[in-house]
Structure 1
């Protein structure tokens, strides 16, 4: 079946009162346009309303993604940060709404960064910036952001992400220690809206493993590797190194 028809059916079902997962017309229009099959390469399964495992990460079910995006309330021209890019689908929907040049995404898993970049390029959203970062620290060099979407759970919104919000900005994420609730927050960390119960994986911080054999090096390990390599050099090659930097 034509993927465009499948997208229409998917969004119609999300808007239907039986699911009531999608109210925002901007999100609905964007989800009708973004080719989900570029991010979930399983034929018709790309449009089934269920979570899917792709390359070791969970791709959100369309209804879950829709509720996240609804809670975020992104507008055209908004500067947006996505924490936990995954395969890049929600970043693509936001790029359709706000413009690819306005969307930035980070993921702690290097492999997922490469996957998201490739998928976004294939789907026509190559202008989205995707970088390997500790998501809890955000992307300060591109702040402030009008909207921050966190696709992982924490007890409360990370302070660094709140500080990177614009004055009238909005952050959406699942919060809670036991049960989680999809919520939206203002820059002071005060809840604006509590949407629904959810169950997300926890937000990983630097040095934690995202379930792969190869793990990401921490900043300390990166520095130690650099120092070890520098000690093999001699003379002028060592003059640029500041051994005390970052300690």
Structure 2
């Protein structure tokens, strides 16, 4: 769906929310957060014109900004409220963190690509998301100095929910993560940490980049 030149940005955001409702996103707080987050602020060049279509789009460092319906699904499943401290693995453009900034008390997001981390900081600052901290680092290690977290969301796929990250999730907390081989269809998994162990629920098929260790050696470090 190409929004075309005749829609204002506000109308385009409303149109996107309507698309997400048709895709099954029902939580009004999540829909309001997506409507309040200008996706165009997280895109460059020609892709800004397609910001409010329900598609993934290219960003720097060979990465993508996720499809809004996937952002909506994962955010809805995370069950964030304004008391939550959230950890995101894979900041990317910063868009998912921007959506979470409207729902959570505090958001920490880790990005392994230095240029992307800088761009995400700038984009989040431009929309006034003062409760988000972007960390350049190895997301597979989490952020132990800020643990435990009420919620953890992973935007890159591992073969299994990462044990290190689960250890940084408080009891009663929720992790949302894609699981599966990078060259096959993956599943979004919801993990709830209970007093008796971990409860798993499959939420649907997705395709994400693989979860990689270390900080990327980006040639373009600007």
- What's the TM-score bracket when you normalise by the shorter of the two chains? 0.7 to 0.9
Please list every run of 5 or more consecutive structure 2 residues that lacks an aligned counterpart in the other structure: 1-6
Shift of 1:58: 0.5
- Higher-RCO chain (CA-CA 8 Å, sequence separation at least 6): 2
> Where do residues 180-219 of structure 1 align in structure 2 (5 Å cutoff)?
180-187=186-193, 190-206=198-214, 212-213=218-219
SS in 2 for 1:74: coil
Q: Out of 36, 39, 57, which is 1:36 matched to?
A: 39
SS in 2 for 1:187: strand
Q: Out of 149, 164, 168, which is 1:164 matched to?
A: 168
Shift of 1:121: 0.2
8 Å contact kept, 2:89–2:110: yes
SS in 1 for 2:151: strand
Residue in 2 aligned with 1:61?
67
Residue in 1 aligned with 2:144?
140
Residue in 1 aligned with 2:3?
none
Q: Does 1:127 align with 2:131?
A: yes
**Alpha-carbon distance in structure 1 between the residues aligned to 2:118 and 2:130:** 12
Closer/same/farther in 2, CA of residues 26 and 192 from structure 1, 3 Å limit:
farther
Q: Root-mean-square deviation (CA), in Å? A: 1.8
TM-score when normalising by structure 1: 0.79
Q: Does 1:47 align with 2:36?
A: no
Q: Higher strand proportion, which one? A: 2
**Alpha-carbon distance in structure 2 between the residues aligned to 1:15 and 1:131:** 32
Q: Out of 69, 82, 90, which is 1:84 matched to?
A: 90
Residue in 2 aligned with 1:107?
111
**Alpha-carbon distance in structure 2 between the residues aligned to 1:179 and 1:37:** 28
**Alpha-carbon distance in structure 2 between the residues aligned to 1:4 and 1:139:** 36
Shift of 1:208: 5.7
Q: How many residues align?
A: 208
TM-score when normalising by structure 2: 0.87
Shift of 1:186: 2.2
**Alpha-carbon distance in structure 1 between the residues aligned to 2:18 and 2:215:** 41
SS in 2 for 1:186: strand
**Alpha-carbon distance in structure 2 between the residues aligned to 1:126 and 1:117:** 10
Closer/same/farther in 2, CA of residues 2 and 207 from structure 1, 3 Å limit:
closer
**Alpha-carbon distance in structure 1 between the residues aligned to 2:43 and 2:139:** 23
SS in 2 for 1:120: helix
**Alpha-carbon distance in structure 1 between the residues aligned to 2:215 and 2:54:** 33
Larger radius of gyration: 1
Residue in 1 aligned with 2:4?
none
8 Å contact kept, 2:137–2:215: no
Closer/same/farther in 2, CA of residues 44 and 169 from structure 1, 3 Å limit:
same
Shift of 1:27: 0.8
